[in-house]
Chain A
Amino acid sequence: MKDLLVRYTLLAAALAVSAGSLAAHGLEIEVRRHAPAVILKASYSGAEPAAFAAVKIYAPGAPPAVFQSGNADAAGRFAFVPDSEGEWRAVVDDELGHREERRIAVGREFIEAGAVHAGEPAPGGLPLWLRAAVGVAVIFGAAGFFYGLKARRRAGP
């Protein structure tokens, strides 16, 4: 009887350790926000990164539409740029049986903070309209130059 009790105790301990070990492999998704991007970091209980895990991002609204899909990098990171406010959903699946879902609330301020407006110059560059004007001016200038050159040649000395 005493042996049986010892055996059950050992079995229960082994199961508890196994359960603990399984729990330690559960997927976790950490969310960081750097407007305009939301950066996810998928890891096994915050320790081992879920390298190259499949990630799907669902935009807010019904029916849910896949906004972006791909794989995390070697460090378990994945970034996306939400384009509307609401509750976004990230699903990480390592295709080995571990899956985790995280809902991410995105507010209007976040979208507006990261908005890039049409025609905004690249860092250190000229505005788009100015670059277009420069291009047209170069063409007209070159056309005028060659027109004058050819006309002068035709007229002779």
Chain B
Amino acid sequence: MHIADGILPVPVAAAANVAALGAASLLGRRIGTAEIPKTGLLASALFLASLLHFPFAGTSIHLGLFGLAGVLLGRTAFPAVFIALVLQALLFQHGGLFAIGLNTVNMGLGALVAALIWRTPGLPEAARAFAAGFAGILVPAVLMSFEFMLVGYGQRVLFLAGVYSAVAILEGALTVSAVVFLRKTEPSLLETRT
């Protein structure tokens, strides 16, 4: 899921860095004082999620939690994703430093789509939570596959899509569990204003 340096052309990575930094600072200003602890907690969860990895189909998969971040933070999930990715690149070497913008755009858009799905009226809560968790992984995976295809990198795009579909199902189920748990214990956390 994390793109390394040197895979996509430098101008594309540079443009993505500018876009990600701009969007993160713009959306970061919308975080209210009361929302800061929740954003910090979610950013920590996103940061640590990539350490939980499992062997799957000859490769290794890990959680992203972008869908859950979208559900709990709304649009301000984007800066949380940015912070988590910066620290992952610096401390775990997950993804390239110059590719942080690309990774933030891919995964941040996953969180934003999840936030949109979560707010879609007329659907049962569990269905919205599952779809949000699913999209939170599938959107970045599709974007990444598309970017790889554009630059002719790798021959395993379909394999990637298959692997990430499995992760998306797992994340969908995880998001439903989290929403059900929070609805029972702390429903105020499910109300986002951003």
Within A127-154, the residues touching B (CB, 8 Å) are 128, 131-132, 134-136, 138-140, 142-144, 146-147, 150-151, 154
The smallest beta-carbon distance between B93 and chain A, in angstroms, is 8
Flag if A139 contacts B83 (CB, 8 Å): yes
The smallest beta-carbon distance between B116 and chain A, in angstroms, is 25
The smallest beta-carbon distance between A124 and chain B, in angstroms, is 13
Interface centre among A136, A151, A154 (most CB of B within 10 A): A136
Flag if A131 contacts B92 (CB, 8 Å): yes
Main secondary structure of the interface of A (DSSP, over half): helix
Q: A140 vs B43: C-alpha distance in the bound complex, in angstroms?
A: 9
Instruction: Check if B33 is an interface residue, CB within 8 A of chain A.
Output: yes
Instruction: Check if B6 is an interface residue, CB within 8 A of chain A.
Output: no
Flag if B37 contacts A147 (CB, 8 Å): yes
Flag if A135 contacts B33 (CB, 8 Å): no
Specify which chain B residues have a CB less than 8 angstroms from the CB of A139 in the assembled complex: 40, 43-44, 47, 83-84, 87
When the two chains form the complex, which single residue of B31, B32, B39, B91 contacts A135, counting CB atoms closer than 8 Å? B91
Specify which chain A residues have a CB less than 8 angstroms from the CB of B33 in the assembled complex: 147, 150-151, 154
The smallest beta-carbon distance between A59 and chain B, in angstroms, is 14
Flag if A143 contacts B40 (CB, 8 Å): yes
What is the interface size of chain A, counting residues whose CB is below 8 A from a CB of the partner? 17
Flag if A142 contacts B83 (CB, 8 Å): yes
Once A142-B83, A147-B33, A154-B33 are accepted as A-B contacts, the answer to whether A134 and B40 lie under 8 Å apart by CB is no
Specify which chain B residues have a CB less than 8 angstroms from the CB of A142 in the assembled complex: 40, 83
Flag if B51 contacts A143 (CB, 8 Å): no
Specify which chain B residues have a CB less than 8 angstroms from the CB of A150 in the assembled complex: 32-33, 36
Instruction: Check if B3 is an interface residue, CB within 8 A of chain A.
Output: no
Flag if B91 contacts A147 (CB, 8 Å): no
Q: A150 vs B36: C-alpha distance in the bound complex, in angstroms?
A: 10
A/B interface sample: 28 pairs, CB < 8 A: A128-B92, A131-B91, A131-B92, A134-B91, A135-B48, A135-B87, A135-B88, A135-B91, A136-B44, A136-B47, A139-B43, A139-B44, A139-B47, A139-B84, A139-B87, A142-B40, A142-B83, A143-B36, A143-B37, A143-B39, A144-B40, A146-B31, A146-B36, A147-B33, A147-B36, A150-B32, A150-B33, A150-B36
Chain A: residues with CB nearer than 8 A to chain B?
Answer: 128, 131-132, 134-136, 138-140, 142-144, 146-147, 150-151, 154
Chain B: residues with CB nearer than 8 A to chain A?
Answer: 31-33, 36-37, 39-40, 43-44, 47-48, 51, 83-84, 87-88, 91-92
Given A132-B47, A135-B47, A150-B33, 8 other A-B residues pairs in contact with their CB atoms under 8 A: A128-B92, A135-B48, A135-B87, A139-B43, A139-B84, A139-B87, A140-B40, A147-B36
